[in-house]
Amino acid sequence: MPTALITGATAGIGAAFARRLAADGFSLVLVARDEARLREVAGQLKLRYGVNVEPLPADLATDDGLARVEARLRDGVDLLVNNAGFGHPGNFLEVSVEDETRMLKLHCEAVLRLTLAVLPGMRERDRGAVINVASVAAFFTRGTYSASKAWVVNFSEATASEVAGPRIKVMALCPGFVRTEFHERASMDTSQIPGFLWLKAENVVNAAMRDLALGKWVSIPDVRYKTIVAVGRLIPRRLIGNRGAKIGR
């Protein structure tokens, strides 16, 4: 039975990955900060799908939390989903440097260290996959969040070019607006976001698993966001930055 480790697994896209992979017969290792909620979700998945579910409480914005998950990855897993992340409600100059560096720790350093922890075992066994959850924001200019997700995309593509093959795959997943707790937790006002731009977490995960099977290095779920990214690449970066700031507010 294959094993998948998912970070940020108690809600949103991470929880949707957990449900999909459990339904596919994966044993699960679920990582999140909230131990009580983590164990509750683990119990529900085990009861519903009859698979082994291992809760692993860890704060990936800390060295201790990262070390704990790195050690588990070195024991061997078949699929790593780097999903943990968060957003800021304010503009760049309105956010404390502590919060900005914590974001970089979680979005960049954690992705780097966990990917490096899992890949040697995958290469030795000649099988495995890594999905790094980025964002459509990676293709636009919008503060540290956008910059950190751009790093995730670049890192994933670079890693895929070095280690990917028919049996080892690395992919960046770049969803747009998804109906999750993400924006509420960040105290973001989403009232001005058009309804047609919202995606369901389950659909995002299904698209990701399809694109992973196809060997894609970057997955942009849904034709709406594929179009937005394609058009965005034709617009000068300065104009995108101005527009992105307005959307962000």
Active site positions, annotated: 145, 149
Is the separation of the CB atoms in 15 and 8 below 8 Å?
no
Is the separation of the CB atoms in 4 and 78 below 8 Å?
yes
Q: Which residues of 196-220 are buried (b: 16+ CB within 10 A; e: fewer)?
A: eeebebbebbebbbebbeeebbbbb
Rg (CA), the chain: 17
Is the separation of the CB atoms in 117 and 70 below 8 Å?
yes
Q: If DSSP codes are grouped into helix, strand and coil, which group holds residue 95?
A: coil
Token pair of 147 as six digits: 């910059």
Burial of 239 (0-12, 13-18, 19+ CB in 10 A): exposed
